[in-house]
Amino acid sequence: MTAYDAGTSDAANPLKQMARFGQSPWLDFIQRSYTESGRLKKLVEEDGLKGVTSNPSIFQKAMGHGTDYDPQIRQILEHQIVDAGTLYETLAIQDIRAAAKVLHPVYEQTAKVDGYVSLEVSPYLARDTDATIAEARRLWLAVGAPNLMIKIPGTDEGAPAVQAAIAAGINVNVTLLFSLNAYKKVVEAHIAGLEARLSRGESVKGIASVASFFVSRIDVKIDGEIDDRIAAGDRDATALKALRGKVAIANAKLAYEYWQTVVKSPRWQKLAQAGAMPQRLLWASTSTKDKTFSDVLYVDGLIGPETVNTIPPATFDDFRDHGRVIPTLTQDVAGAHAVIGEARRLGLDLDGVTRTLVDEGVRGFEEAFDALLGAIAAKQAAFLDHKLTTTTLNLPADLDTAVKAELETWRTQGNVRRLWSKDATLWTGRDEAGWLKWLSIVDDQLLDLAKFEEFQAEVKARGFRDALLLGMGGSSLGPEVLSVTFGRHEGFPHLYVLDSTDPQQIRDFQDRIDISRTLFIVSSKSGGTLEPNILKAYFFDQAKKVLGDKAGSHFITVTDPGSHMEDVAKKDGFWKIFYGNKQIGGRYSVLSDFGMVPAAIAGLPLKRLLDSALRGEKSCAASVPPAQNPGVVLGSVLGVAARSFGRDKVTLLASPAIYDMGAWLEQLLAESTGKDGRGLIPIDGETAGPASVYGKDRVFIYLRLSEKPCEKQDAAFKTLIAAGEPVVTIELHDRYQIAEEFFRWEFATAVAGSIIGINAFNQPDVEASKIETKKITTAYNETGRLPPYEPFAKDGAFAFYADHKNAAALKGDTAEAILKAHFARGRAGDYVALLAYIDRDTATREWLQQVRLSVRDGLKLATAAEFGPRFQHSTGQAYKGGPDTGVFVQITCDDDVNLPVPGEKYTFSIVKEAQARGDLEVLGERGRRALRVHIHGDLKAGLEKLAQAIRAAV
Ligand SMILES: O=P(O)(O)OC[C@H]1O[C@](O)(CO)[C@@H](O)[C@@H]1O
């Protein structure tokens, strides 16, 4: 017969007989099918079962395996976007409620003495008093059953939480008690909690508590110590042997003896008179682990009045079958004292053992909870299927092993929870906690959805044809991805994003828009960045020419509260001001108003985008263990590859329809991690080549849009995987999943930053070039001229500039010779970055792409192809502050077009020149290998010639 199948007559059923001696049998087990099938009810009716206890290991067994819970999981996922922890809790609460219902008659019949079901607070909180109290209250309210007991560990930190919970009128089951001392503290906490109620004039009636004293685990430890000593030839072998299987029960008897003194004490009597119920001792851990002992040793050895034994199913069955019911608990108490005395005399470390058991108990429940949440998260991902992006790792064995080890470290150290609780020591322990609001911004935005949708409707109603966003880096790249990926939406303006000071490029954008029907978005978190300020000044001036006094009504800004741009917007009568959040840095801001406002303007379905982002957030939640957490997995691959394998070139390729993700990603990765001489170097958009052109410094990321993949890319990645290169393939099943990936990559970057050991939220080296630029523009304003600047060499239309050290290393009379000398400085593991301060249009992008591929194939080095000044607000941080592995070629040109900056002497052309100079200056100062090639005269012809020279030089 099994616990699933009761049916013995009352008189013959030892379980039922326990009641005669005042002991209540509870079941240490819960499972949905068990309750639903009526088996639990049968145990109540036929075995006199009086309660149920659960713990994380029990739920792990119940939910972590099998299909019992699948229908409900599917149903929840159909309607809600939740994390694994919430899913677990929803399932657990349903189980607890159902069991509480079955036991409610017992609760009533026994006048609230029995009939309880226990639910444990998260084991992760076992060392945190306040969090445990909050969790106890939350679960108590969430379950909403009077016969619920909240389980709280009897740790040093748990005891005050027990007191607070009791004082709040919550029934408490104190778990993980091993030692008499810990038990005494818990007894005190219980009494103090009730006294607190009395002193506040509140009732103490009907508040139940049990103290779960763990039994068999003590014998396992002590007997193990005994066996080791005997095996080592201990001279007390006989005496030691006599104690095997005795210490745990003796220890429990002493606890009971203490309880008897407590309930007789005047202090307790006062509470009893007020109607308080005593906290009963509950024997837990009562299955026999040592098969040489009786299988019901810890049940029939501890029967006594006003106690509970919570029995696992198999032991329950065994006891029903052959348990002996005699009042053992109060028998031979002197013998129990003697056993403990003898154990001490023999040097058995009972105190040490109980201390270890508490730690092991807490850890064991954490492990079980990790396994449970991991199983739920995996199931959730499988059920959601294509509603989530899919990630496949193809890693070389050594990297794979190291990544797995890192994930395990993250698990054992609880790092995902530390990240969510904003623990700055995950990085450098400085200001990181103040930069993590992006973790919860999606929830905030969903609450604000109506605001964005109203704004969207207003934009539509005003009939704008174009929208032009002016901003840099984090304030422009997210909107650019949205604009490029989703294109134009019927009834809404075309969203353009301008992030350049190149006059030709500004002119190109101006030509594309109809100012009288354009909405301008000035996007700057700090509000102080040079480019958006001067671009605003320029276009506002242009708008005034067309719209007169109404110019302001065509402008909005997204900026942080209190910024200079907020003042400008107010002064110039902007239509609207949207605010960023000061605790979100630019590159983490795409899901804040910096992305949502342009998305609204472009007519994107905002709820759909935010839901996708929310899926990203929930799959990276604190409750999702590292191995199932897509953000941690990705961050670990990137972090470990860079830290331990020199694979720091994150080579990003995306399907054509989502290609622009790379521009956003490179800022996120480079600005976040590239500092203190360390970091990730993003290599965006470098067309995949044969394995032979790559060094050992790459990790490949393939963002594949499965609704519109590119066959060539698929084939190239197949080859790379076959060649043993590390490849992470992320499949997006529709474009909106870029929002899920936005969140996931932010999380992964934070994780990689922690692994690399830097502050992932500052950009210390960006400021340096801004300062240099400012010096030059200020000098221009004062003198009307740029400071003198001499090339160290010339060749036809080319002039070459560099600081002294670089110039000295780059001897040569021809462009080819100088470039050759420059490239010759590149070593395996380095990268070459082409930094072009020219108009960024289709032709120049194509040019840059072709040239970079020649460099890569010639030098077998990774290549970055960037346009200035936009990269300064992006990858520029890593170029200056990251590893000193960059070989930089700056490309500048004469400007055919020049545009004024209203209110300044300097022009856009001067600004661009100042930016290029400032950038080169700082690269030189940092000892980086940097060369500037300036093209005089016709740009197109110059670029052609330069391409030839570069090809010849590599
Ligand atoms: O939004 P802001 O303050 O204008 O800054 C734009 C960009 O410039 C940077 O500060 C770098 O200069 C980026 O981090 C940021 O995204």
- pLDDT tens string 39-91: 999 999 999 999 999 999 999 988 888 899 999 999 999 999 999 999 999 99
Q: Per-domain residue ranges for the chain?
A: 24-360, 391-421+620-644+657-756, 438-604, 766-953
Residue 594 alpha carbon, nearest atom of ligand 1: 1
Residue whose Cα lies nearest atom 9 of ligand 1: it is 873
Ligand 1 mean position to 886 CA, how many Å? 22
State if residue 473 touches ligand 1 by the CB under 6 angstroms criterion: yes
Question: Contact, 843 vs 850, CB < 8 A?
Answer: no
Contacts of 333 (CB under 8 A, 6+ apart): 253, 254, 257
Q: Environment class of residue 508 by beta-carbon count within 10 Å: exposed (0-12), middle (13-18) or buried (19+)?
A: middle
Please identify, by atom number, the ligand 1 atom nearest to the C-alpha of residue 877: 11
* CA of residue 341 to ligand 1 center, whole Å: 71
Please report the atom of ligand 1 found closest to the CA of residue 766: 12
Mean pLDDT of 393-407: 98
Which strands sit side by side in the sheet containing 727-732, from one edge to the other? Answer: 390-394, 727-732, 698-705, 649-654, 681-684
**Cis geometry, peptide bond prior to residue 900 (ω within 30 degrees of 0):** no
Residue 544, C-beta contacts closer than 8 angstroms, at least 6 positions apart: 551
Is 880 a pocket residue for ligand 1 (Cβ < 6 Å)? Answer: no
The pLDDT tens digits for 53-64 are 999 999 998 888
Whether 892 lines ligand 1, by a CB cut-off of 6 Å, is no
Establish whether residue 17 lines the binding site of ligand 1, counting it when its CB lies within 6 angstroms of any ligand atom.
no
Ligand 1 atom closest to the Cα of residue 526 is: 3
CA of 598 to the centre of ligand 1 (A): 17
- Find out whether the beta carbon of 587 lies less than 6 Å from any atom of ligand 1: yes
Ligand 1 mean position, distance from CA 596 (Å):
17
How many other C-beta atoms can be found within 10 angstroms of the C-beta atom of residue 655? Answer: 21
- Residues 929 and 946: their CA atoms lie apart, in Å, by 19
C-alpha 503 to ligand 1 mean position (Å): 21
| Whether residue 529 has its Cβ less than 6 Å from ligand 1 | yes
Q: Which amino acid, residue 341?
A: G
**pLDDT at residue 10, rounded to an integer:** 77
| Ligand 1 midpoint to CA 743 (Å) | 19
Any atom of ligand 1 within 6 Å of the Cβ of 475? yes
Helices (H), 448-549: 449-462, 477-486, 503-512, 530-547
Whether the CB of 763 sits within 6 Å of ligand 1: yes
Summarize the confidence of residues 504-511 as an average pLDDT. Answer: 98
Please give the order of strands across the beta sheet that includes 555-559: 494-498, 466-471, 518-524, 555-559, 576-579
Q: Give the residue, by CA position, lying nearest to ligand 1 atom 8.
A: 873
Q: 597 alpha carbon to ligand 1 midpoint, in Å?
A: 17
CATH class of 391-421+620-644+657-756: alpha beta
Identify the CA nearest to 30 among candidates 112, 93, 87: 93
- Ligand 1 in contact with 881 (CB < 6 A)? no
What's the pLDDT at 4? Answer: 41
Look at residue 6 and tell me whether its pLDDT is greater than 60: no
472, 481, 769, best to mutate for ligand 1 pocket (most atoms within 8 Å of CB): 472
Residues with Cβ within 8 Å of residue 664, at least 6 apart in sequence: 477, 478, 480, 481, 590, 742
State both tokens at 570.
Answer: 């107010």
Q: What is the model's pLDDT at position 770?
A: 84
Measure the CA–CA gap between 698 and 696, rounded to whole angstroms.
Answer: 6
Distance 726 CA to ligand 1 centre (A): 32
Pocket mutation for ligand 1, best pick of 469, 524, 525 (most atoms within 8 Å of C-beta)? 525
CA of 146 to the centre of ligand 1 (A): 55
Q: Is the CB of 439 under 6 A from ligand 1?
A: no
How many Å apart are CA 70 and CA 92, to the nearest integer? 13
Atom number of ligand 1 nearest to Cα 767? 12
Q: How is domain 438-604 classified at the architecture level of CATH? A: 3-Layer(aba) Sandwich (3.40)
Measure 764 CA to ligand 1 centroid, in angstroms. Answer: 12
Q: Which pair of tokens denotes residue 294?
A: 């009786």
Amino acid at 781: N
Ligand 1 center from residue 873 Cα (angstroms): 6
Centre of ligand 1 to C-alpha 586, Å, is: 6
Sheet bearing 929-935, strands edge to edge: 793-795, 798-801, 929-935, 886-893, 831-836, 862-867
Q: What is the pLDDT of residues 603-654, one digit of tens each?
A: 999 999 999 999 999 999 999 999 999 999 999 999 999 999 999 999 999 9
- Nearest 5 degrees, angle CA 875-CA 881-CA 886? 70
For residues 120 and 654, is the Cβ–Cβ distance under 8 A?
A: no
Mutating to test ligand 1, I would choose from 438, 470, 529 the residue with most ligand atoms within 8 A of its C-beta, which is 529
pLDDT tens, position by position, 262-319: 999 999 999 999 999 999 999 999 999 999 999 999 999 999 999 999 999 999 999 9
Q: Is the CB of 42 under 6 A from ligand 1?
A: no
**pLDDT of 36 above 90:** yes
Atom of ligand 1 nearest to the CA of 770: 12
Ligand 1 pocket test, pick from 499, 526, 594 with the greatest ligand atom count within 8 Å of Cβ, gives 526
**Cβ(532) – ligand 1 distance below 6 Å:** yes
Q: What CA–CA distance (Å, rounded) separates 686 from 657?
A: 16
Q: Is 361 in the pocket of ligand 1 (CB under 6 A)?
A: no
Same CATH topology for 24-360 and 766-953?
no
- The CA–CA distances, whole Å, from 388 to 80, 375, 887 equal 14, 17, 39
Our mutation pick for probing the ligand 1 site, out of 435, 475, 579, counting the most ligand atoms within 8 A of Cβ, is 475
The verdict on the CB of residue 531 being under 6 Å from ligand 1 is no
Q: Which fold has domain 766-953?
A: Rossmann fold (3.40.50)
Residue 3 has pLDDT above 90, yes or no: no
* CB of 704 closer than 6 angstroms to any ligand 1 atom: no
The finding on whether 586 has its CB within 6 A of some atom of ligand 1 is: yes
Q: Which of 16, 42, 112, 151 is catalytic?
A: 151
CA–centroid distance, residue 844 to ligand 1 (Å): 25
**What's the one-letter identity of residue 62?**
A
Task: Among 533, 866, 873, 877, say which to mutate for ligand 1: greatest number of ligand atoms within 8 Å of CB.
Answer: 873
Residue 936 phi, psi (nearest 5): -85, 150
pLDDT > 90: percent of the chain: 96
* Integer Cα distance of 156 and 702 in angstroms: 49
Tell me the pLDDT band of 8, cut-offs 50, 70 and 90.
low
9 — pLDDT class (breaks 50, 70, 90): low
Structure confidence by residue, pLDDT tens digits, 674-687: 999 999 999 999 99
C-alpha distance from residue 657 to each of 652, 718, 720 (Å): 14, 20, 22
How does residue 769 score in pLDDT terms, banded at 50, 70 and 90? confident
Ligand 1 atom with the shortest distance to the CA of 474: 16
ipTM of the complex model: 0.92
Cα separation, 874 vs 664, whole angstroms: 9
Q: Is there a catalytic annotation at residue 151? A: yes
Ligand 1 near 474 CB (within 6 A): yes
CB of 932 shorter than 6 A to ligand 1 = no
Residue 52 is encoded by which pair of tokens? 């149920």
Checking if the pLDDT of 383 tops 50, the result is yes
Q: Is the CB–ligand 1 distance for residue 766 below 6 Å? A: yes
For the entire predicted model, the pTM comes to 0.95
- Closest protein CA for atom 7 of ligand 1: 473
- Under DSSP, is residue 115 helix (H, G, I), strand (E, B) or coil? coil
- Pocket lining: 919 vs ligand 1, CB cutoff 6 Å: no
Q: How far is the CA of 475 from the centre of ligand 1 (A)?
A: 7
Task: List the residue whose alpha carbon is closest to atom 11 of ligand 1.
Answer: 873
pLDDT (average), residues 512-537: 97
472 lines ligand 1 (CB under 6 A): yes
CATH assignment of 24-360?
A: 3.20.20.70
Q: What is the mean pLDDT of the chain?
A: 97
**Interval between CA 436 and ligand 1 midpoint (Å):** 17
CB of 525 within 6 A of ligand 1: the answer is yes
Query: pLDDT tens-digit profile of 541-552?
Result: 999 999 999 999
Per-residue DSSP letter, 931 = E
Ligand 1: residue whose CA is nearest its atom 16:
474
